[in-house]
Amino acid sequence: MPTLSIRGERLAYRVSGKGEPLVLVHANISDIRSWEPLEGLLADSFKVVSYSRRYAHPNSPIADGGDDPFDVHVQDLIALIESQELGRVHLLGNSSGAFIALLAAASRPDLVRSLSLEEPPVVSIFVRTLPPAPAELIKLLVTAPGAFAAFVKFGAGAIGPATKAFKEGDDEKALDAFGKGVLGTEAFARISTARRHQMLDNVAAHRATLLRSGLPTFTADQARALRVSAQLIRGEHTAHFQRRINQRLAKLIPDARDVVIPDASHLVHEDNPAAVAAVVREHALERPRPSGRHQAQRRI
């Protein structure tokens, strides 16, 4: 696979199709292979650029004891767009990749035409850490009791057990706890052997993020200030905490839409690639909507 030199690292990448550039940003415990079900469906409308993020397979792995902060990936994405002279791009990201795309757009709106964000884990619009600190939980209980229940369940059922297993050196146990919490028990049980291998290929960098730098902070004020056309995409069967995040971001970001994809969980474009391709194409290629109005939820 071809590679690009980006800020001192060689990153595997792939380009297909013609048209306005669309850059795909994958999640943690994922790599460039995650986009294979979708790329061909978008290549008739876009110049599709996919890449494996720093430390993701087949790139050089993270060093033992290393950290994997989000800001490094944000700067990598910006450098990729600029070094390849892509101009203003459409961005599609999944999970942590969606969060990276969001942060890049907030930092460099001049480089971004549109944002399609599949379930970005922007927990900081509700709480600053997972599991939440007691004071944050009390505040959340008062201000958003539904979100309170969702975050307590996710913190206790997924983040806590995954962190404990990682500290004990049991990556597979950590992956099971995290995967069931994010995808849901039934969806996680249905993933293929090949997809599980992809997760294990990339678990070291995820371990580093979870045990060290954690998720970055993105505030409600930053969301309100975003001036890039955005849609929030979520699976019909996604976890309750993530549904709350998508709905909240769609209300905060001016003119953003909350789009629900049927027959999908957290790996939205892998579960229903045709539906995701359709909403990305429509959003990216439509005329800009009038500003200052929040868009209603859209179910596909």
Q: Are residues 168 and 105 in the same domain?
A: no
Domain count, the chain: 2
Tell me the H-state helices in the chain.
Answer: 36-42, 70-83, 96-107, 134-143, 145-154, 160-167, 171-183, 185-189, 193-201, 203-211, 220-225, 240-252, 268-271, 273-285
pLDDT tens for residues 54-66?
999 999 999 999 9
53/7 Cα distance (integer angstroms): 12
Report strand pairing: 112-118 vs 89-94: parallel
pLDDT over 90, % of the chain:
84
CATH, residue 57 = 3.40.50.1820
Q: Are residues 19 and 59 in the same domain?
A: yes
- Please give the residue range of the domain that contains residue 176: 134-211
End position of a domain, from candidates 211, 237, 272:
211
**Average pLDDT of 285-299?**
57
Q: Quote the pLDDT of residue 155.
A: 87
102/131 Cα distance (integer angstroms): 23
104/111 Cα distance (integer angstroms): 9
pLDDT tens for residues 44-92?
999 999 999 999 999 999 999 999 999 999 999 999 999 999 999 999 9
57 and 27 in contact (C-beta within 8 Å)? no
Give kind and range of the element (H or E) at residue 275.
Answer: helix 273-285
**Average pLDDT of 263-274?**
98
Tell me the residue length of the chain. 300
Asked if the model's pLDDT at residue 196 lies above 90, the reply is yes
Question: 238-253: string of b/e by CB count within 10 Å (b at 16+)?
Answer: bbebbbbbbebbbbbb
202/30 Cα distance (integer angstroms): 6
End position of a domain, from candidates 211, 246, 276:
211
Q: Does the predicted model carry a pTM greater than 0.75?
A: yes
| Averaged confidence pLDDT in the chain | 93
77/73 Cα distance (integer angstroms): 6
